[in-house]
Amino acid sequence: MAGAARHEGREALAAGVRTLRGGGLVIFPTETVYGLAADAANAEAVAKLYLAKGRPAFNPLIIHLSDWRLAARIARLDGRALALISAFWPGPLTIVAPVADEALVCALARAGLDTVAVRAPRHPLAMALLDRFGGSVAAPSANRSGRPSPTTLADAVAETGDAASAAIDGGPCEVGLESTVLALLDGPPRLLRPGAVTRQELEAVIGPVAEALGDARRSPGRMARHYAPVSPLRLDAEAPASGEAFLAFGASPDGPRIFNLSPTANLAEAAANLFSYLRAADALNPTAIAVAPIPPSGLGEAINDRLKRAAGRVG
């Protein structure tokens, strides 16, 4: 956004649609995190996305749309996919399925794979942008590759604003963690990325969900170090050591270097605060960021996944 005009409200939406049509990049809010959007059918626009993020071109993008019928033209959606779509869309669930129409999403956005990831976000400004644009939109999180996802417009602009020609302000993101990514290919459903729609919620609709295979081709984004702040992380810490910042969870003393993810131990609140508190703690240049234990079930699975990746502990 360095040289770009700032617009408010309806003007920002109109500028967003114009920018997408012209092959430019748009920062926009979703219910999960801020995204950086490009026309998914325009390979040149999508190439700008990879460049802006410093993202390896083997890591495919999620295709955003406002209408499940467009998703059904892009991807081959089976009965399981349709059941999940009726339960969770619009919302933070991304479905990976075999690609149906290769022209609707350029090969670069799919990183050349024969599968494609589709998602319909539920943020009203995202829905309005996608609806008015009418086509499919490739949108990774608006951070530089390997950094925490932005959950406010200011954080997004600080990460990739130089590459964006328009930006839409939707306030802080409601969920704060990226969408759940579920592969529906041959065999059982596989959880490629835990997220805001929990494993338990998925299983209530389609039965057992298997782990992702350690297969780089099927889950290319699952690189070990991801979402990482600059400072090292120390997980499952009961209290901070001297020189450390502390992400607390539940009852905890206050302090200048203590950020409480949720004083009432509420996982949804902790998810919403996670990335912005990681950034704030990191900005203090601590010797390390100590993080309190977070319960493993429900939304805790996604929170622990992001923390382990930020600590470089997941393979």
What does the binding site for ligand TXA look like in residue numbers (CB under 6 A)? 30, 32-33, 35, 59-62, 92, 94, 96, 110, 113, 115-117, 119, 121, 139-141, 178-179, 181, 192-193, 218-221
Q: Residue 300 binds which one of ligand TXA, Mg ion, none, with CB within 5 to 8 A depending on kind?
A: none
Query: Minimum distance between the CB of residue 84 and ligand TXA, rounded to whole angstroms?
Result: 15
Query: If binding is defined by CB under 5 A, does position 141 make contact with Mg ion?
Result: yes
Q: Residue 161 binds which one of ligand TXA, Mg ion, none, with CB within 5 to 8 A depending on kind?
A: none
Query: If binding is defined by CB under 5 A, does position 262 make contact with Mg ion?
Result: no
In this structure, what DSSP letter does residue 75 have?
B
Closer residue to ligand TXA, CB minimum distance, 165 or 179: 179
Q: Do the beta carbons of residue 47 and residue 67 sit within 8 Å?
A: no
Q: Do the beta carbons of residue 118 and residue 74 sit within 8 Å?
A: yes
Closer residue to Mg ion, CB minimum distance, 248 or 302: 302
State the burial class of residue 87 (Cβ atoms within 10 Å of its Cβ: 0-12, 13-18, 19+): middle
- Going from the C-alpha of 147 to that of each of 72, 125, 192, 231, 246, the distances in angstroms are 32, 24, 19, 12, 19
Query: Minimum distance between the CB of residue 290 and ligand TXA, rounded to whole angstroms?
Result: 26
Q: Residue 104 binds which one of ligand TXA, Mg ion, none, with CB within 5 to 8 A depending on kind?
A: none
DSSP string, 83-147: HHHHHH-SSSEEEEEEBS-TTTS-TTTTTT-SEEEEE----HHHHHHHHHH-S-EE--BSSPTTS
Query: Minimum distance between the CB of residue 189 and ligand TXA, rounded to whole angstroms?
Result: 13
Query: Minimum distance between the CB of residue 219 and ligand TXA, rounded to whole angstroms?
Result: 5
Closer residue to ligand TXA, CB minimum distance, 47 or 265: 47
Closer residue to Mg ion, CB minimum distance, 113 or 223: 223
Pairing relationship of beta strands 137-138 and 166-167 according to DSSP bridges: unpaired
Closer residue to ligand TXA, CB minimum distance, 31 or 244: 31
10: tokens are 């309806």
Closer residue to Mg ion, CB minimum distance, 178 or 244: 178
State the burial class of residue 129 (Cβ atoms within 10 Å of its Cβ: 0-12, 13-18, 19+): buried
The residue number with the shortest CB distance to ligand TXA is: 221
Query: Minimum distance between the CB of residue 40 and ligand TXA, rounded to whole angstroms?
Result: 11
Distance CA 150, CA 160 (A): 10
Q: Give me the residues that bind Mg ion (CB under 5 A), please.
A: 141
